[in-house]
Each structure stands twice: as C-alpha cells, then as structure tokens.
C-alpha cells in the first residue's frame, strides 16, 4: 500500500494525495451527512494524463476507484463504501474550458468544470447552455454527464445526454479514449458516448466533453397559473404545446401542500393568488421574439384555456422580480420541506398520458394506508417527472414516520412500475436504489447491463457497489 501511495505521489504530487482523515472528510461525506465512506487515499489529479496514470496504477493493483465530481448527488453514487480499500478520485482540478467554438455552437470542457461556470461562459458568448438545476453552483459537468442529469429545461432541450456531442474517457484499463467529436451526425460504429453517459462512473471516468450550445433567447415570459387537478394541468400542457411548440421551455407542477409549505417557511416568497386551489403550474416561454409579442401570444392561449374551464386564474410576470418570485416559489420547495422536517422522497417519471391517473390512485393508496399523510407533489410535469414526496400526518413525528420509508417506497414504486414508469427519473441509482433496480428491471435487461459491465470493467474496479 505504501508503495502504491508513493507511486501516486510521484505521479500527481505529494499534496494531491490525501491520506489524512480530516483532509479527506469533505470528499467522503454525502453533502446532507446521510452517508460516510472511507478511502485509502483521496486523489486529486490535474489533467487527463494523470487520471489515466492513476487508473493504470489502480488497475494493476486491483484497487477500486470511486470517481467524484461536485459530490452533490442524491443516491450515494460518489462515496466509496466503508471498507477503506478504495481510492476516491476527484475530478475537481480538471476544470478548464478547453475551447468555445462559436460557429459550431459547441464548447469543450473538462469534467471538473462547475455547471454555472459553463452556463456563464456560454452567456458571455451570446449562447445558451440550457442545463439548469438547483445545485448548479457546486455540481460539475462530469457528474451531470455521469448521472445524465435532468433539471428544469428538459422539456425543450433534453437531458444532459442530449446536450453532449462527444466525450473523453479514461477506460478501466487506464487508456485515454479521445471521443471529443463535435459533430451533429456521425454514424461510424457503436455509440460509446451514450454507454458512458449515465453509467455513474461504473464503466470508466469521463474527463472531458463537447457540449452543444444554443442561440440565447431574446425574450422569456413567465406565468403562474392556478387550477383544480392534474388532469387539467395536462390539458393545459397540451394546449400550450399546440400553440407555442418549442417556445414552451418549462412546465412545472406545484400542488397546494407544496405551495403552502413554501409560503410558511420561506419569507422571501410572496403569495400570487389569494384564492387557494389544489394545483398550480409555473410555465415559461422563451424564444427569439420580443417580450411583448410573446406575452401577447401567451395571453391569448391562456384566454382559450380559461374559456375551456381548464384554469382558475393566471398571472403573467410583468417584471423580472415577479418572474423571480414565481421561480423562487418552485425552487424553494425542497428547502421548505427540509425546514418542516424529513419526509419520504420519490423521483419518478411516467408516461404523460398516465400521470393524472397515477396521482389519483397513488394519493388514494397512501391516504388509506397512512391517514392524514401530507402529499408534497411537484415536479417537471412537461417531462412526466414528479417529485412525489410524502410527509407525516401532523400528529406524527418525522422520525417515527421515516420508519415506514420502505413500506411507502413499495406502495409508490409498485404503482409507478404498474403505470410503466421509472423509479429514478433524474437522480440515478447509485447505492441507494440498487435493490429497487433489481426488483423492477427485467432479468434480460439486467443481464445485458452486467455483460457490458464485465466487458468494459472486467475486474469490477470502477465505482463498485453502485448500480449493481
């Protein structure tokens, strides 16, 4: 082991091989302090060649590697187990924007670049990099790619997978694959890029990527709408897509319970409608039209929705601060929940045509099994993705209710499965959901996943214990 550590030091420099427990701590704790791991060393390489050198060393000695980006994941995917046998390999020093190619609408970035650095760099070049999520100030693009992150702009721009044209990867054997292509069309063999995207570091280490950029919208119009049920929200979605097609860039659902939680716990957020309804929708149109044109078009489609009795009320934000208040409402739900106390979370997706029925059936099943439980339902309705969270009845403490976590998961996930949905829409599997994966994936699919894992990582050294 000492010999191994000395080789690591020779390769990347003494100060970048952390063996001191205090120095290691921040890398080995999940950010919500729900999980701690151990590592024989935390390694901080500076570039792709150093990553490849370290992986080769580990491969020769059969030492497992957990790669880590911003350590902002929600499924314990970037924390090693508690044996202390693995190394943690942080990509955070690979943080260069290697190239911005304006005329190709692409940007080549290293895995450790923070998402908001990438967003800002695009913006400075009058371009949009649309991936946007709550942790954008601390998550890295390598993590976003490895988990195929979702966020609030998937409706129009797709998941991280759809935003990437090429990858650079260090394979499990320590070879560097230069797949940094910046092409819109390339049909020369198997799609290795998409094998590594979403693989959660279990097949190799993504060290750099070519990202797609988009024209920067010239107008963004935000509206907050109140309505009675999920069915109407879905009808509104279809109506908005018919009238605005791709200009519709966000369509978020917020139920009454979520909204009231925010208003109770987040003082910066102000109430938009005084009449309370069961559900609300936050929607956004963005395009290259003027604000006035866009706003007028939105108004007329809202009027149609109103005449069809789909909605109760609607407010189109007229100022940046009104728009910010709408988004702050949506984005504060997690924080408001945390202030209220722990609850049981789900990150599910469903065919959009089946969401209304799913919510009805699942709400009923939970209310019967746990009378008085509070359903904190919100999410990216336009993508069929709900954060379907369950808070305890008022008279029961979080701690006692959380003992029911497995039971509640079973009710929700069994129904999701029955409705042809996914038990992990955007958070991945990591270590947290690997048992659930075994339960719901078909044996044929699991077998193929294992075949690919064995082919590309025969000694099971890349992030072992995750996904499988």
| Interaction between residue 462 and a second copy (CB under 8 A) | no
Select from 50, 140, 391, 424 the one that contacts a second copy (CB under 8 A).
Answer: 424
| Residue 229 contacts residue 183 (beta carbons within 8 Å) | no
- Binding residues for a second copy, total number by CB under 8 A: 90
Query: Cα–Cα distance between 217 and 128 in angstroms, integer?
Result: 8
* Least distance in angstroms from the C-beta of 127 to a second copy: 10
* Least distance in angstroms from the C-beta of 286 to a second copy: 9
Binding to a second copy in span 360-399, by CB under 8 A = 380, 383-385
Longest dimension (CA), the chain: 75
| Interaction between residue 233 and a second copy (CB under 8 A) | no
Binding to a second copy in span 332-351, by CB under 8 A = 349-351
* Least distance in angstroms from the C-beta of 424 to a second copy: 5
Q: Which stretch binds a second copy (CB under 8 A): 111-119, 132-140, 235-243, 316-324?
A: 235-243
* Least distance in angstroms from the C-beta of 453 to a second copy: 8
Select 189 or 267, whichever has its Cβ closest to a second copy.
Answer: 189
* Least distance in angstroms from the C-beta of 190 to a second copy: 5
* Least distance in angstroms from the C-beta of 213 to a second copy: 11
| Interaction between residue 185 and a second copy (CB under 8 A) | yes
Query: Cα–Cα distance between 220 and 248 in angstroms, integer?
Result: 10
- The closest alpha carbon to 215, from 103, 97, 96, belongs to 103
Binding to a second copy in span 394-423, by CB under 8 A = 420-423
Distances (CA, A) of 127 to 1, 114, 120, 152, 284: 48, 17, 9, 18, 19
| Interaction between residue 243 and a second copy (CB under 8 A) | yes
| Interaction between residue 148 and a second copy (CB under 8 A) | yes
| Interaction between residue 189 and a second copy (CB under 8 A) | yes
Binding to a second copy in span 35-74, by CB under 8 A = none
| Interaction between residue 352 and a second copy (CB under 8 A) | yes
| Interaction between residue 125 and a second copy (CB under 8 A) | no
Select 53 or 392, whichever has its Cβ closest to a second copy.
Answer: 53
Q: Which stretch binds a second copy (CB under 8 A): 10-18, 37-45, 187-195, 358-366?
A: 187-195
Binding to a second copy in span 190-229, by CB under 8 A = 190-192, 194-195, 197-199, 203, 214-215, 217
Binding to a second copy in span 97-116, by CB under 8 A = 101-106
* Least distance in angstroms from the C-beta of 248 to a second copy: 10
For Cα atoms 226, 229, 231, give the angle at the middle one, nearest 5 degrees.
115
* Least distance in angstroms from the C-beta of 411 to a second copy: 19
Select 227 or 259, whichever has its Cβ closest to a second copy.
Answer: 227
Select from 82, 120, 178, 318 the one that contacts a second copy (CB under 8 A).
Answer: 178
Select from 123, 299, 407, 445 the one that contacts a second copy (CB under 8 A).
Answer: 445
* Least distance in angstroms from the C-beta of 192 to a second copy: 6
- Find the helix packing angle between 2-12 and 48-61, rounded to 10°: 170
* Least distance in angstroms from the C-beta of 295 to a second copy: 15
Select 204 or 392, whichever has its Cβ closest to a second copy.
Answer: 204
* Least distance in angstroms from the C-beta of 159 to a second copy: 6
Beta strands 204-212 and 279-287 are unpaired
| Interaction between residue 308 and a second copy (CB under 8 A) | no
Select 399 or 445, whichever has its Cβ closest to a second copy.
Answer: 445
| Interaction between residue 463 and a second copy (CB under 8 A) | no
* Least distance in angstroms from the C-beta of 175 to a second copy: 5
3-state secondary structure the chain: CHHHHHHHHHHHCHHHEECCHHHHHHHHECCCCCCECCCCEEECCCCHHHHHHHHHHHHHHCCCEEEECCCCCCCCCCCCCCCCCCEEEECCCCCCEEEEEHHHCEEEEECCCEHHHHHHHHHHCCEECCCCCCCCCCCEHHHHHHCCCCCCCHHHHCCHHHHEEEEEEEECCCCEEEECCCCCCCCCCCCHHHHHCCCCCCCEEEEEEEEECEECCCEEEEEEEEECCHHHHHHHHHHHHHHHHHHEEEEEEEEHHHHHHHHHHCCCCCCCCCCCCCEEEEEEEEECCCHHHHHHHHHHHHHHHHHCCCCCEEEECCCHHHHHHHHHHHHCHHHHHHHHCCCECCEEECCHHHHHHHHHHHHHHHHHHCCCCEEEEEEEHHHCEEEEEEECCCCCCHHHHHCCHHHHHHHHHHHHHHCCCECECCCCCCCCCHHHHHHHCCHHHHHHHHHHHHHHCCCCCECCCCCC
| Interaction between residue 266 and a second copy (CB under 8 A) | no
Q: Which stretch binds a second copy (CB under 8 A): 20-28, 57-65, 168-176, 324-332?
A: 168-176
């Amino acid at each position: 082991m000492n010999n191994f550590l000395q080789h690591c030091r020779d390769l990347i420099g003494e100060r970048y091989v952390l063996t001191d427990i205090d120095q290691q701590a921040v890398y080995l704790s999940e950010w919500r302090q729900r999980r701690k791991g151990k590592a024989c060393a935390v390694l901080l390489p500076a570039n792709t060649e150093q990553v490849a050198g370290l992986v080769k060393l580990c491969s020769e000695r059969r030492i497992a590697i957990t790669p880590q980006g911003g350590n902002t994941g929600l499924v314990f995917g970037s924390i090693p187990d508690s044996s202390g046998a693995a190394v943690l390999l942080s990509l955070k020093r690979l943080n260069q924007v290697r190239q911005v190619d304006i005329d190709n609408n692409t940007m080549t970035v290293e895995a450790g670049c923070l998402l908001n650095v990438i967003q800002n760099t695009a913006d400075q070049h009058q371009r949009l990099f649309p991936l946007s999520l709550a942790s954008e100030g601390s998550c890295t693009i390598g993590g976003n790619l490895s988990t195929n992150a979702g966020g609030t702009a998937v409706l129009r721009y797709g998941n991280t997978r759809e935003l990437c044209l090429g990858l650079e990867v260090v394979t499990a054997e320590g070879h560097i694959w230069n797949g940094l292509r910046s092409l819109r069309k390339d049909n020369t063999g198997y799609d290795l890029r998409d094998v590594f995207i979403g693989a959660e570091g279990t097949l190799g280490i993504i060290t750099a990527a070519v990202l797609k950029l988009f024209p920067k919208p010239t107008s963004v119009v935000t509206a907050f709408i109140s309505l009675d049920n999920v069915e109407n929200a879905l009808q509104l979605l279809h109506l908005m897509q018919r009238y605005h097609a791709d200009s519709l860039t966000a369509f978020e659902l917020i139920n009454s319970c979520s909204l009231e939680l925010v208003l109770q716990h987040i003082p910066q957020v102000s109430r938009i409608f005084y009449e309370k309804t069961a559900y609300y929708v936050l929607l956004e149109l963005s395009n290259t039209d003027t604000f006035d044109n866009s706003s007028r078009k939105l108004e007329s489609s809202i009027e149609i929705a109103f005449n069809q009795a789909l909605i109760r009320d609607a407010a189109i934000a007229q100022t940046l601060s009104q728009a910010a208040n709408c988004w702050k409402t949506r984005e504060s739900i997690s924080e408001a929940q945390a202030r209220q106390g722990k609850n049981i979370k789900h990150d599910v997706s469903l065919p959009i045509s089946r969401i209304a029925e799913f919510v009805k059936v699942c709400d009923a099943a939970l209310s019967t099994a746990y009378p008085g439980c509070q359903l904190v339902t919100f999410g990216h309705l336009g993508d069929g993705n709900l954060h379907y969270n369950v808070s305890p009845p008022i008279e029961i403490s979080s701690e006692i209710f959380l003992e029911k976590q497995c039971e509640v998961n079973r009710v929700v996930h069994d129904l999701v499965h029955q409705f042809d949905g996914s038990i992990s829409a955007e958070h991945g599997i990591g270590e947290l959901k690997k048992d659930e994966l075994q339960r719901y994936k078909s044996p044929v699919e699991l077998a193929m996943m294992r075949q690919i894992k064995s082919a590309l990582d025969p000694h099971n050294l890349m992030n072992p214990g995750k996904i499988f």
